[in-house]
Chain A
């Protein structure tokens, strides 16, 4: 059941890259140029703030650097108010992921361990590769193999392990009648938390040295 099945038709690597681009054209979630541009800006922000660095992410795991949680909580706080405002105005839709408790808990545990050791996540890792981090490229090879294992054993192991969906509950569901207020309070609290987290920074012996700039 779990043997690796290769594609047999005469379609090579390039034609599958072409299919990837064609799929983006067909699915109507922005043009190829826009999706690429979103990636460029994402990569640019992550690189320019230097939050892809080991010292920032593993540094947070060691509680010696708080730039990542400060930036993340601020972004989430502002975005939450913005998104619900846009949904109200009819210019955005919610895309909620289901609550699959075993999947979220087991997945979250594995993910946290990996993030502390690698000092990257799947969004910041590619930025680190692009700035020349060879250790992260090795991490990416591990990730590709992890993806392969997940794909091959999905039906037999991983899908049953994820458990049943408990629905797509959102926080405002608990505050019937005061949904908008609950969003505002949530967003404002996260912005406040971002500001209140004490600013700690782990020094990078290479990048923060005197003669670099």
Chain B
């Protein structure tokens, strides 16, 4: 084929489709709740580590939303897998993203350790704020919630400062 880029949707088509999905989900004909994607992590953690939900106030408080997002997560994994195999044909096992090699280093160990660390603080951060990119940014800002705008602003600043400090973006 002559097109050298991997098969993919444009940003505006993606934005429109994501908006339609959110509108369907939040409507009373859909799920009558917004899309969220970070409560499932402590919920699934509770299942995997076999914690007693009766003992933990936090697990009790997320019992419903965690379960909802847990089922949605199964769909996300399935949808992502099917799309990567059959539509974009981008499925492959990999350890270090090419952008990391270009702007950070070639070390597998470095990428895996940093990934572990980032995953750890990401979930603590998301649960402290009560939401993530999906729950606050996508769903919260779409409802014009001030909480989402505070979160979105702080994340943007923190994200860009980290990007500047953490990667070698000069001279490449």
Contacts and interface: CB of A to CB of B under 8 A. Distances in A.
Contacts of B64: 23, 27, 29
A116 B84 contact: no
Using C-beta atoms within 8 Å of the partner chain, give the interface range for chain B: 35 or more
Contacts of A206: 94, 98
Interface string A133-168: 111101111111111111110110011011000001
Interface in B40-73: 40-53, 55-59, 63-64, 66-68, 70-73
Using C-beta atoms within 8 Å of the partner chain, give the interface range for chain A: 35 or more
Given A45-B21, A49-B14, A150-B58, A107 B126 contact: yes
A105 B128 CA distance: 9
A169 to B, nearest CB: 4
A5 B23 CA distance: 40
A65 B171 CA distance: 17
Given A139-B115, A171-B144, A122 B122 contact: yes
B77 A43 contact: yes
B133 A59 contact: no
Interface in B72-116: 72-84, 87-103, 111-112, 114-116
B129 A108 contact: yes
B118 A127 contact: no
A72 B133 CA distance: 9
B74 A39 contact: yes
A123 B29 contact: no
B160 A38 contact: no
B5 to A, nearest CB: 6
B128 A126 contact: no
A62 B146 contact: no
A142 B113 CA distance: 9
Given A39-B72, A110-B125, A207-B90, A130 B154 contact: no
Contacts of B148: 97
* Residue of A73, A103, A129 with most chain B CB atoms under a 10 A cut-off: A103
A83 interface: yes
Interface string A190-213: 000010000100101111111011
Q: Which 5 A/B pairs are nearest by Cβ-Cβ distance? A: A39-B75, A112-B158, A61-B163, A107-B129, A43-B79
Interface of A: 4-8, 13, 16-17, 19-21, 23-24, 27-30, 32, 34-55, 58-64, 67, 70-76, 78-80, 82-84, 86, 91-101, 103-119, 121-136, 138-152, 154-155, 158-159, 161-162, 168-172, 183, 186, 194, 199, 202, 204-210, 212-213
